[in-house]
Structure formats: C-alpha cells, structure tokens
C-alpha cells in the first residue's frame, strides 16, 4: 500500500490543521483574557452605531485587538449583507418617519437596539 500511496496527492496533514485551528481559537481566547476591560463595551457601542445605519448580521462580526511592540491595532471585520438586502435596509433608515419597530420581522434586531439604547446591544455575540 505504501508504495502506491506515494503516487496519490497527499491530503493536507492533520498536524497542519491542528496548528491552524489552535492559532485561531487561541487568538480569540487571548484577546478575551488580555484585552483591556473596555474592549467588550467598545465592541458593543461600535456595533450599535453601525447597526443604526446598516442591517448587519451580529454573528458575522469580528472584533480583534492585536498588540504589537509599539502599537496596538483594533480590527473590526463586519460582513455586510448582500446588495439587495442592503438597499432595502438603507431605504428603511433613510425614511425619516419610519421607526425600526414599524418594519417587518427581520428588523426585530433593530427593534431591540432602539428600545435598549446603544449601550445594551443584546445581539452582540461574544466569542470568548
């Protein structure tokens, strides 16, 4: 068998996958551990502001604080909805008299936001 396996294209070694998975999960855990106390609050407020204008999926948001030698970077990755959804969302926002609570089911999230105020964004998912 071993002679034939030589000709097959080798699958990605499991050790490589192990390393990648560890690096990803631990980056998150370390950020949660070593990050400053304001980071979760900052994350929620930033998201609340963005959610006011764009209908974002709270599960497709990534906030990361990297600390380098001289400087730290705050990285905010938000996956925006597809163009059509975006359009309708923007339209909803632009109408001055339309309150978020007046629209359909998918706006439930916005509804909460408006009700609770920007500091208590119930939809933010913490991954730590």
Binding site for another protein (CB under 8 A): 1-3, 5, 13-16, 18-19, 21-23, 25-26, 29-30, 33-34
Q: Which is nearer to another protein, 9 or 96 (CB)?
A: 9
- CA pair distance 81, 79, nearest whole angstrom: 7
Q: Which is nearer to another protein, 87 or 127 (CB)?
A: 127
Question: Smallest gap, in angstroms, from Cβ of residue 2 to another protein?
Answer: 4
Tokens found for residue 18: 């192990």
CA distances from 97 to 54, 102, 118, 123 (A): 17, 10, 20, 24
Question: Smallest gap, in angstroms, from Cβ of residue 62 to another protein?
Answer: 19
Q: Which is nearer to another protein, 26 or 98 (CB)?
A: 26
Question: Smallest gap, in angstroms, from Cβ of residue 38 to another protein?
Answer: 18
- CA pair distance 78, 8, nearest whole angstrom: 40
Chain Cα centroid distance, residue 92: 22
């Amino acid at each position: 068998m071993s002679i034939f396996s030589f000709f097959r294209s080798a699958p990605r070694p499991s050790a490589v996958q192990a390393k990648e998975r560890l690096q990803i999960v631990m980056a998150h855990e370390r950020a949660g551990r070593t990050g400053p106390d304001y980071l979760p609050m900052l994350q929620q407020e930033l998201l609340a502001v963005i959610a006011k204008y764009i209908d974002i999926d709270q599960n497709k948001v990534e906030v990361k604080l990297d600390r380098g030698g001289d400087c730290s970077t705050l990285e905010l990755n938000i996956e925006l909805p597809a163009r059509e959804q975006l359009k309708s969302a923007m339209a909803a926002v632009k109408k001055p008299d339309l309150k978020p609570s007046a629209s359909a089911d998918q706006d439930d999230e916005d509804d909460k936001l408006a009700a609770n105020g920007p500091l208590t964004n119930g939809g933010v998912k913490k991954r730590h």
